[in-house]
Amino acid sequence: MTHDLEALRREVRSFLATEAPSGWRDASRTQDDFVRTQRDWFGKLVRAGYAIPHWPADYPGGGRSLAEQKVIYEELAGADCPRLLLSFVSTYHAFATLHECGNAGQKARYLPKILEGETWCQGFSEPGAGSDLAAIRTRAERKGDVYVINGQKVWSTMAQFADKCLLLARTSADGVKQAGITYLLMDMKAPGVTIRPIHQIQGDEEFAEIFLDNVEIPVSERVGEEGKGWAVAQATLASERGLTLMELSYRMRGALGRVAGLIREHGHSEDRGVLRDFGVLVTQVDAVCAIADQFLDNRIKGIEHMGDASIVKNAYSRALRAYSAFGLRLGGMDEQYVAPITFGDLNTGNWMADFMNSYAWTIAGGSEEVQRNIIAERMLDMPREPKGWVL
Ligand SMILES: Cc1cc2nc3c(=O)[nH]c(=O)nc-3n(C[C@H](O)[C@H](O)[C@H](O)COP(=O)(O)OP(=O)(O)OC[C@H]3O[C@@H](n4cnc5c(N)ncnc54)[C@H](O)[C@@H]3O)c2cc1C
């Protein structure tokens, strides 16, 4: 699809001028308000053709070039509308996994439903398996046409609202840890699934634990072959460390206007120290956007070096901390209270919430330390860490 980028920009802008939700940062909003706003906003973006620009052209709103995607993300970021927290696992992770590794039936069954509002969560981490994801212990035992699942998942973002789950389970304990893992698509309403939201210190319930007690998953819901789920999981993780970060980086750049507003409001317009630090921040955020752009440009051309995604991830999380810490510093005591419900959003209108949420990004999608290990070992060819710590 060829498009005049400026025409597209005008089109998105005029859509946002009338359709972008307002009041979504209202501190008194409840969980139900949050869910309603998220679902309505996603529906509007789907109908307008801006929710899934990275999907293929077979889907309405898909088939956009990278240049077009950037225009859409830039405009969404600039318009100050909510991030799609309820559906990003569906439109990024579930899409990438099914598109790259799912069979024709799975794609036909699930991808259109995402556009109708079906939401997915990611059931990878467990109490004893995070950085060392291959250590998962949730068992999947084949019995005829079904797998019977027993175990526990943790830190599953928005799992309490999800219809489906991207699940990693162990079908064999033989050989290397990675070899016995199988990738399954689980119905969150299946008998034996218990979801317990995790209540966070600032009042949010952004994640949930998922308990699995003899849950039956049809064999037809397996992605790839039995025992080959580790390779499929890489498609999910690559989406988490690639496209998601491009959108987030653009949102951070879009939010720099809020920081500039704060400089004026708090009388720092003549303060050379503050202006210098703001200049450093703007440069840092621009650099992250450029790194994310380059990563995706390369990926579209089929170029990806081990460690590239880790560089994007760490550059983003470092800039995010600098951005929110700067906002907190400028706002003074007014900014020190915490808004009750943010669901891990990063441009909440409350600097303390943004500052606290920024630390989640040192862990989410693979911790900073582990990303550094990947860069050191697989990109710079430095010695591997001793056995027992292997990712
Ligand atoms: C905001 C957020 C959203 C998330 N969403 C999901 C989700 O939807 N689904 C899901 O499955 N999981 C999710 N997670 C979980 C996330 O993937 C894990 O928290 C992460 O992989 C780290 O695992 P862990 O918490 O078990 O920490 P651990 O692996 O126990 O790590 C603890 C500390 O040890 C360090 N460490 C561990 N291994 C090494 C090593 N080899 N070298 C050096 N340092 C090391 C880590 O960097 C970290 O500082 C989410 C986490 C966050 C913060």
Give the residue, out of 125, 164, 188, with the most ligand 1 atoms within 8 A of its beta carbon, to mutate for a pocket test. Answer: 125
**Range 117-227: architecture per CATH:** Beta Barrel (2.40)
Could you report the per-residue pLDDT of 193-251, keeping only the tens digit for each?
A: 999 999 987 778 899 999 999 999 999 999 999 999 999 998 898 777 777 788 889 88
In percent, the amount of the chain with pLDDT more than 90 equals: 66
How confident is the model at residue 30, as a pLDDT?
81
Q: Do 117-227 and 242-379 agree at the fold level?
A: no
CA of 367 to the centre of ligand 1 (A): 5
Q: Whose CA is nearest to atom 31 of ligand 1?
A: 131
Q: Does CATH place domain 242-379 in 1.20.140.10? A: yes
How far apart are the two ends of the chain, measured CA to CA in Å? 40
Residues 322-332: what's their mean pLDDT? Answer: 88
Contact call for residues 352 and 336 (beta carbons, < 8 A): yes
> How far is Cα 248 from Cα 256, in angstroms, rounded to an integer?
13
How confident is the model at residue 202, as a pLDDT?
72
Closest CA to 354 of 225, 239, 248: 248
Residues 285-312: what's their mean pLDDT? Answer: 88
Q: Provide the pLDDT confidence category of residue 27 given band limits of 50, 70 and 90.
A: low
How confident is the model at residue 339, as a pLDDT?
65
Least confident of 45-59, 226-240, 345-359, 367-381: 345-359
Q: Is the pLDDT of residue 155 over 80?
A: yes
Residues 88-92: what's their mean pLDDT? Answer: 95
Residues 292-309: what's their mean pLDDT? Answer: 84
Domain coordinates in residue numbering, the chain: 5-84, 117-227, 242-379
DSSP letters, 228-255, are BHHHHHHHHHHHHHTHHHHHHHHHHHHT
> How far is Cα 91 from Cα 104, in angstroms, rounded to an integer?
18
Return contacts of 48-57, CB within 8 angstroms, 24+ apart: 48/15, 48/19, 50/12, 50/15, 50/76, 51/84, 51/87, 51/91, 51/115, 52/91, 52/95, 52/114, 52/115, 54/92, 54/95, 54/243, 55/91, 55/95, 55/99, 55/111, 56/99, 57/1
Could you report the per-residue pLDDT of 342-364, keeping only the tens digit for each?
A: 777 777 777 888 888 899 899 98
Residue predicted with more confidence, 48 or 33: 48
Q: Is the pLDDT of residue 83 over 90?
A: no
What is the CB < 6 Å shell around ligand 1? 121-125, 130-131, 155-157, 344, 360, 363-364, 366-367, 369-370, 373, 385, 389
CA of 116 to the centre of ligand 1 (A): 31
Active site residue 240: yes
In percent, the amount of the chain with pLDDT more than 70 equals: 94
Residues 162-166: what's their mean pLDDT? Answer: 98
Q: Whose CA is nearest to atom 30 of ligand 1?
A: 130
Contact call for residues 130 and 123 (beta carbons, < 8 A): no
Q: Which atom of ligand 1 is nearest to the CA of 365?
A: 17
Catalytic residue among 240, 247, 270, 304, which?
240
Contact call for residues 138 and 151 (beta carbons, < 8 A): yes
Contact call for residues 124 and 155 (beta carbons, < 8 A): no
